[in-house]
Every structure is written in structure tokens, then in C-alpha cells.
Amino acid sequence: MDPLITIVLVVTATAAQDSINEEITLRKGDTHILLFKTGENWRFKLYLEYVNRSEIFKNGTFRMDRVIEDDSGDYQLKIYNSEGTMLRTVNMLLETQAPVSEPVLSHICLPHGETVVTCSSEGDGLQYSWTLNSQNLTRSVAYDVYQISVITLKSDVTGTLTCTVQNKVSTSNSTIDLPLACPVVSSQFPFVAVTVAVALTVGILTLLLALFVGINHLLKKRRSRFDTSENGDEGVVYADVKIGKQRNPARKQRPPATEMVEYGQIKMAVNPDVAASP
């Protein structure tokens, strides 16, 4: 829910019930806000835009509720007598600001014992101030003693640290007790960190060099194969060819040998025990 802001404007001291009939007008730029007539039968008129969030009282006080950012600007109040002659003009500048939220304190520990404390808040036109044990910070306990949201405390600082945030509308503060809980950092940590960083850098450079050499080797190998293939296709091969003279060109070829079959005579002996037929 948005905060409810009330602005009280005292119109004029003469704008009371027992004053002479006067007419008072209030406007913002070219926009009319209020027409107020004083006297025993005092009466007023609020313009439409301000009817539901404004009020006028008998003592001449005008109140405007639920002020928004668009209400910022220059206002002009004019007072006329009963004859219509202007008696007085009052110019006012209205500046609207969101109220300050409750500050939130956080801290970061540095390697050598210092502590960075941050004060966070919401609102418009914020102004910060710091105190240690209700006393303003000095350079003996903090490196920064200006009105800023972040300070750096020196090591071994103890007490109650308070951050106060304010603007023209409201004020709020938060406190923490010192010293703050910080992890113990080994004195060898910077050396170890540097060593690890150097080792990682060397490893990465070695890997990149190996990749470069490998890729370069593959490219050269492919280029060599490509050159060999081109030379084989386009090269001219010369051979020493000797042609011998034909000695007997008129020699006839022998006809192919005719296959011959030799038939032999087979004689069979006659059995003597068998008598010949008469």
C-alpha cells in the first residue's frame, strides 16, 4: 500500500471567520484548485480534480491528502478585497518525496581485517549519516566519513554502528554491533591463489599451443595430398620405347595342326579246345 502523505498549506492569517470579505484563489500553473471567500458567511469552492482529496477549514487552512508526484510544482495564492483589488500574491514550490524505508545493513570482510558496510534504503532525496557509539565517525575508525551509503571500517573497530537515512519527509535508522563475524583468511591465501592462477594460465596456453600445432599439421598433410593428386593428373610421363625391325615379314603362318586319330587292329586268339563247325 502506498504511503498516505498530507500537505498542510496555511492560506493566510486574515482568512478567518471574523475577517472582512476577501476572496482567495489557489492554483497550480493554469489549473484552478480553490476559490475561498472569507467573512461571516464564508464559503469555498474546490475544483473537480481536488474535491475527493482536499479539505478547507474555518481557520483558513487548506489540506491536500494523498499527494502524488504529479502534485509537485509551483503554486500561486492570490488575495483580493471585496472590491476585487489584489492585495497579496504568495508563490510556493511544492516538492513531493517518497518516505524513507527502514535501512538494511550488510557487510563484506576484506583480507586485511577491514570491513565494508553498506546501508540500503528506499525513498527520494536520501541523505545518510553514520555514528559509532552515538558519536560521528572519524578517520581513526573509518576511511570514509562522508555522508554516503557505503563506508570502510578499519580493523579492530568495536561498538554500536548506526546508519541514519532521512529526507524532507521522514527519518529512519538501523544499528549493528561490531566487530562483525568475518571468516579467517590465511596469510598464505594470496600466494596460493596466485600459484593456482599461474598454473591454470600455463595449462590453458599449453593446450592452445597443442591444438594449433595439431591443426597446422593436419592442414599441411591435406595440402600435400592435394598437391600430389594434381601432379598425377596433369604430369607428362616420358618412356624410352624402342621398336625392332621385323626380319621376315613375308613368312607365312603355319596352318593349325590337324588332329589325327590312329586306329589299330586288334587280333583275338581262337580257343583250341573249341571245335570248328563243319
What is the per-residue pLDDT across 111-134, written as a single tens digit (0 to 9) for each? 888 999 999 999 999 999 999 999
Stretches where the chain sits below pLDDT 50 are: 1-5, 10-18, 233-246, 249-250, 252, 256-259, 261-278
Instruction: Name the strands in the sheet holding 104-109, side by side, starting at the edge strand that comes first in the sequence.
Output: 104-109, 115-120, 150-153
Structural domain boundaries of the chain?
6-94, 104-178
pLDDT at 277: 44
The reply to whether 104-178 shares the fold of 6-94 is yes
Tell me the residue type at 220. Answer: K
Largest CA distance in the chain: 200
pLDDT at 1: 44
Tell me the residue type at 22. Answer: E
d(CA 181, CA 179): 7
CB atoms within 10 A of CB 119: 24
Say if residues 116 and 157 touch (Cβ distance below 8 Å). Answer: no
Say if residues 157 and 136 touch (Cβ distance below 8 Å). Answer: no
pLDDT at 15: 43
- Beta bridge mates, 136: 131
CB atoms within 10 A of CB 200: 10
For the domain made up of 6-94, give the CATH fold: Immunoglobulin-like (2.60.40)
- How far CA 79 is from CA of 37, 40, 57, 180, in Å, comes to 10, 17, 17, 61
Cα three-residue angle 182-187-189, rounded to 5 degrees? 85
For the domain made up of 104-178, give the CATH fold: Immunoglobulin-like (2.60.40)
Radius of gyration, alpha carbons of the chain: 57
Expressed in percent and rounded to 5, the helix, strand and coil fractions of the chain are 20, 30, 50
What is the per-residue pLDDT across 136-169, written as a single tens digit (0 to 9) for each? 999 999 987 777 899 999 988 999 999 999 998 8
